[in-house]
Amino acid sequence: MLPILAMTTAAIGLALSVVPSALLFAAPALALAVTLAIVALVKKSHGSKGLSFAAIGTAVVGLVVATAVAFTSLASATQAAPVSGDAEVAQEDAAAEPPLDEAPDPIGAQKLAVSEAEFGRDPSTPNGWWYLLWLDNPNPQTVLIEVPITLSANDANDVSLGVLPITKNIQPGKSVVSGYFKMESDVEVMSLGLNIPAEVTSTWSKDADFDYIDVSGITPGEGAGVTVVRGDLTNISDDEVTGVLVTVIARDSAGKIIAFANAEAASLAVGATTAFEAPFDLAVPADAEFEVFVEP
């Protein structure tokens, strides 16, 4: 009777040893099976020795299997916990202090303000007008992408005489948007209407705030009856600079913008200096002051 009971208990213990959640019950069952088998062997009146030895063998196998399952389960739990913890720490560190060469993501929409807007007749073109906008992007290292600006030329009653769509990338800080438009007839433009989205798409740039061009030697002069401003551009960055646009703004003694002129530099090697010449469309008053704005 005892050999059969020992064998049955050993079989139950072996079955429980392969289930991680049942290991707590497998060990007592296997220990009981070994005890019953040993008692049966000592007391010869309790039946077959072969069945008792089989019960002991089954119990030993069960103990080996239970031990292996326990170690495997423990190892899996130990490996899983640090992966989650490290991921959380990495995410917190990245959110608190993003690497200098990587963009904080997402940036989201940013605001853009118009700090100054002026316009006037273009003396070189019949029915032509010029405009100049000072735009302020207060977001450091953030370039505003393809900002849609709608410019409206209005009469004295603020009725639109025509519209001009403009699209431009805006660097951090102040940017200049300048250009020309032509009316269909000789009408008087009395004001400019501006339509700029309250928030625009943006992207991050680690070099957006870097002063890569030094402007020096600004000298106003005359040429062919108009004012010409000359100066020098020096590449003070660590890379070649291409496609530089220079905007020279003339202000009267009261500080009002009265005209602008443009010049371009195709490319500047590292440390190189090149001269620029920006001719206005008119003779600027002698007491005018000049501002030079450089952008890619």
Condensed to tens digits (0 to 9), the pLDDT of residues 142-159 reads: 777 788 889 999 999 989
Report CA 47 to chain centroid distance, whole Å: 80
Positive or negative torsion for Cα 52, 53, 58, 63: positive
Q: Span 83-105, mean pLDDT?
A: 39
- In this predicted model, which residue has the larger pLDDT, 70 or 76? 70
Residue tagged 């213990």 (tokens): 13
DSSP run (H or E) holding 217: strand 213-223
Does the pTM of the predicted model rise above 0.85? no
Contact yes or no for 280/261 (Cβ under 8 A): yes
Q: For 214-234, what is each residue's pLDDT tens digit?
A: 999 999 998 888 999 999 999
Give the tens place of pLDDT for each residue, 17-71: 777 666 677 677 767 766 766 766 667 655 566 766 676 777 777 677 777 766 6
Look at residues 33, 80, 23, 75 and name the one whose alpha carbon lies nearest to residue 54.
33
Burial tier of 196 (Cβ tally within 10 Å: 0-12, 13-18, 19+): middle
Q: Indicate whether 89 pLDDT > 80.
A: no
Q: Output the DSSP codes for 93-143.
A: HHHHS--TTS--S----B--EEEEEEEEE-TTSTTEEEEEEEEEE--TTEE
